Chain A
């Protein structure tokens, strides 16, 4: 009975999201086909779709999407590789935490945009500069999130493992990591979203390909349709990423009870 209720609620939730999208598209159509906004400010939906199709034909769509996705992945993966063990250590050792927490708290308030000049100075305009921007944008947040998620692991479970003879290393591997995994997947999902923001920052400053670059260059030629195409593509890639992470979460932690189940 309870389940039944939740189910119908779930359907209407999806319907609401759909309605929201439809409303926005409707306003867009009215604004542009109705001639209320100039084409140069608001290209028509058909113009944007045509643009996307033509970019898909000449291959620049895939190239730009792939360049951007690749940059996001590299920068973000580095951030995960370092943040994961560091956050776990911070959560389980007061000393490590006391040592690094203040500097991380400090660094996390530095706007990444303000670090761009330094990265250009140190690294030039190559790929490593883009990875670094994405890394800097996500790493400090992610460490704190990992630390928080890992601290949230039920200490009784850790105690149980220790009295069952698990060594410290085994406690990490066999208990803390699997117990924290669903929460970590959420942390990863959120940070990869932010990584996209920083990617666009990086590509707008110094790049000769990628979606951010495409958007910036279009502004120079007043190619608003391309700007819109770029924005829509970034949004779509974001949605797909989110969706992949949700599926992954279910795959790696099928034991988890989810409120949204069924």
Chain B
């Protein structure tokens, strides 16, 4: 059962300079590991540095110190080996669903026929068959996010990085998308690092959860999630789910309490 390490984050620090020249410590000594085919969550209150962390891993930002290793090799800058899905979908509005999903393959100069075939596969995986020729603006939020997921998966990244991808969706759609993602994780074995401030989401999807604390952003604890059976909406009421949720809520409450007492 011991799988090989896919992604390692070691002693990462990130300091921003604010407009007045002061320093904002967004990440302090963050270390974490993601094994092959694992579904790892990072949960923490907003402003604790989650987006900064995933952007550093994705190569969109550079760390002040520390390193990110993908299969043992340090990463530099963005690359197709680390696919990202953002809260705002970031689809290309001038491209159809099909062309959006083909985008990464086109950048790699994959032949048109192969692109089309692969794209179809992933459009099917996210349940959008029949919408190949639709433009993003004709789709609902949930469907847009399906396109974004298919677009990233079609690139077959080593690891899928997701930054609050369902944060803008309504509660019902969110559960549907969570189930879809759980299924994709099961069937494709994609390694996923997923960020959220929603504890339910973290416990429902994660095999392991890193709980981050606010200011300076650092990992407070690691929680292994043991929930029997496939993860779907039924998991939300299992005693194991509720127990884990309670544990994390207590941690985060403690955290907010400490923060409040600081003032």
Chain A residues proximal to chain B, CB less than 8 Å = 154, 156-157, 159-167, 170, 174-175, 178-179, 181, 253, 255-257
Contacts and interface: CB of A to CB of B under 8 A. Distances in A.
Interface of B: 58-60, 77-80, 82-84, 86, 88, 90-94, 103-104, 106-108, 135, 137, 148, 151-152, 155, 161
Contacts of A160: 84, 86, 90-91, 148
B155 A164 contact: yes
A253 B108 contact: no
Given A159-B60, A167-B107, A178 B94 contact: yes
A34 B93 CA distance: 58
Given A159-B60, A159-B90, A164 B151 contact: yes
Contacts, number: 70
A257 B104 CA distance: 25
Contacts of A154: 90
B88 A255 contact: no
Given A164-B104, A255-B137, A159 B92 contact: no
A156 B148 CA distance: 12
17 contacts: A160-B90, A161-B103, A162-B77, A163-B79, A163-B82, A163-B83, A163-B152, A163-B161, A164-B104, A164-B151, A166-B107, A167-B107, A175-B92, A178-B94, A255-B93, A255-B137, A257-B137
B88 A165 contact: no
B107 A163 contact: no
A157 B78 contact: no
Nearest to B88: A156
Given A165-B80, A256-B93, 18 more contacts: A159-B84, A159-B90, A160-B91, A160-B148, A161-B92, A161-B103, A162-B78, A164-B103, A164-B155, A165-B79, A166-B103, A170-B107, A174-B103, A179-B93, A253-B94, A255-B94, A255-B135, A257-B137
Nearest to B77: A162
Contact of B83 (A159, A164, A175, A256): A164
B60 A163 contact: yes
The B contact surface, by secondary structure, is: loop
A253 B137 CA distance: 13
Contacts of B84: 159-160, 163
A37 B53 CA distance: 76
B92 A157 contact: yes
A167 B94 CA distance: 19
A120 to B, nearest CB: 45
Contacts of B135: 255
A164 B107 contact: yes
Interface centre among A174, A178, A253, A255 (most CB of B within 10 A): A255
A102 B250 CA distance: 56
A165 B108 contact: yes
Contacts of B107: 161, 164-167, 170, 174
Contacts of B90: 154, 156-157, 159-160
Contacts of B77: 162
Contacts of A159: 58, 60, 78, 84, 86, 90
A48 B212 CA distance: 78
Contacts of B88: 156
Interface centre among B82, B86, B90, B152 (most CB of A within 10 A): B90
Nearest to A158: B90
Nearest to A166: B107
A174 B100 CA distance: 11
A116 B108 CA distance: 51
A175 B151 CA distance: 15
Contacts of A166: 103, 107
Contacts of B137: 255, 257
A61 B59 CA distance: 61
A118 B152 CA distance: 56
A239 B59 CA distance: 49
Nearest to A178: B94
